[in-house]
A = this chain, B = another copy of it.
Amino acid sequence: MAVHGASDQVATAVRELAFGLAEMTGMAPEITDDPDGMDTNMIRLVQFDEALSLRLQELVPRQALNEEGYAIQTIAENGGESIVVAAKSGKGVLYGTFHLLRLLQTGDLGGNLNILENPRNGLRMMNHWDNMDGSIERGYAGGSIFFKDNEFIRDRARIRDYARLMASIGINGAAINNVNVHHTETLLITPRFLPDVAAVAEIFRGYGIALFLSINYASPIQLGALDTADPLDPRVRAWWREKAREIYGFIPDFGGFVVKADSEHRPGPFTYNRTHADGSNMLAEALEPYGGIVVWRCFVYNCLQDWRDRTTDRARAAYDHFKPLDGQFKKNVVLQIKNGPMDFQVREPVSPLLGAMPETNQMAEFQITQEYTGQQKHLVYLVPQWKEVLDFDTFARGEGSEVKKVVAGETHPYAYSGMAAVINVGNDPNWTGHTLAQANLYGFGRLAWNPDLPEEAITAEWVRLTFGKDETIFRALRSMLADSWHIYESYTSPLGIGWMVNPGHHYGPNVDGYEYSVWGTYHYADCQGMGVNRTLKNGTGFTSQYAKENMERYESLESCPDELLLFFHHVPYTHMLHSGKTVIQHIYDSHFEGVEGVKAFIELWRELEGRIDAERYEAVSERLRIQLAHAKEWRDVVNSYFYRKSGIEDQYGRRIY
| Contact surface of A with B, Cβ cutoff 8 Å | 307-308, 509-512, 516, 525-528, 633, 636-637, 640-641, 643-647, 657
Contacts and interface: CB of A to CB of B under 8 A. Distances in A.
Given A526-B647, A646-B527, A647-B527, A636 B308 contact: yes
A57 to B, nearest CB: 68
B527 A516 contact: no
B645 A527 contact: yes
Contact of A645 (B308, B509, B516, B645): B645
A514 to B, nearest CB: 11
7 contacts: A308-B640, A510-B516, A516-B640, A526-B643, A526-B645, A528-B647, A644-B645
B644 A527 contact: yes
Given A308-B640, A526-B643, A528-B647, 11 more contacts: A307-B657, A509-B516, A512-B641, A516-B633, A526-B645, A526-B647, A527-B527, A527-B644, A527-B645, A527-B647, A645-B645
Nearest to A648: B527
Contacts of A511: 512
Given A509-B516, A516-B509, A645-B645, A657 B308 contact: yes
A637 B516 contact: yes
Given A307-B657, A637-B516, A644 B510 contact: no
Nearest 9 CB-CB pairings of A with B: A526-B644, A527-B647, A308-B657, A516-B637, A527-B527, A512-B512, A527-B645, A645-B645, A308-B636
Contacts of A646: 527
Nearest to A636: B308
Nearest to A657: B308
A554 B644 CA distance: 26
A641 B511 CA distance: 12
Max chain B Cβ within 10 angstroms of own Cβ: one of A526, A636, A647 = A526
Nearest to A307: B657
A408 to B, nearest CB: 45
A633 B515 CA distance: 13
Contacts of A528: 647
Contacts of A640: 308, 516
Contacts of A509: 516
Nearest to A525: B644
A536 to B, nearest CB: 23
Nearest to A528: B647
A182 to B, nearest CB: 22
A510 B636 CA distance: 20
A525 B645 CA distance: 8
Contacts of A307: 657
A517 to B, nearest CB: 9
A321 to B, nearest CB: 26
A546 to B, nearest CB: 29
Nearest to A503: B502
A649 to B, nearest CB: 12
Contacts of A512: 510-512, 641
A554 to B, nearest CB: 25
Contacts of A636: 308, 516
Nearest to A512: B512
A657 B516 CA distance: 10
A643 B647 CA distance: 15
Nearest to A638: B516
Contacts of A637: 516
Nearest to A516: B637
Nearest to A511: B512
A484 to B, nearest CB: 25
A146 to B, nearest CB: 29
A641 B640 CA distance: 16
A511 B633 CA distance: 19
A307 B526 CA distance: 22
A525 B307 CA distance: 22
A657 B527 CA distance: 14
Contacts of A510: 512, 516
A308 to B, nearest CB: 4
A646 B646 CA distance: 9
A304 to B, nearest CB: 13
Contacts of A525: 644
A155 B528 CA distance: 62
Contacts of A526: 643-645, 647
Nearest to A640: B516
Contacts of A527: 527, 644-647
Contacts of A644: 525-527, 645
Contacts of A641: 512, 516
A648 to B, nearest CB: 9
Contacts of A647: 526-528
A547 to B, nearest CB: 34
A644 B522 CA distance: 13
A527 B525 CA distance: 12
A173 to B, nearest CB: 39
A528 B646 CA distance: 9
A510 B641 CA distance: 15
Nearest to A633: B516
A647 B529 CA distance: 11
A528 B645 CA distance: 9
A512 to B, nearest CB: 5
A528 B648 CA distance: 11
A91 B637 CA distance: 57
A633 B643 CA distance: 26
A608 B511 CA distance: 45
A583 B395 CA distance: 54
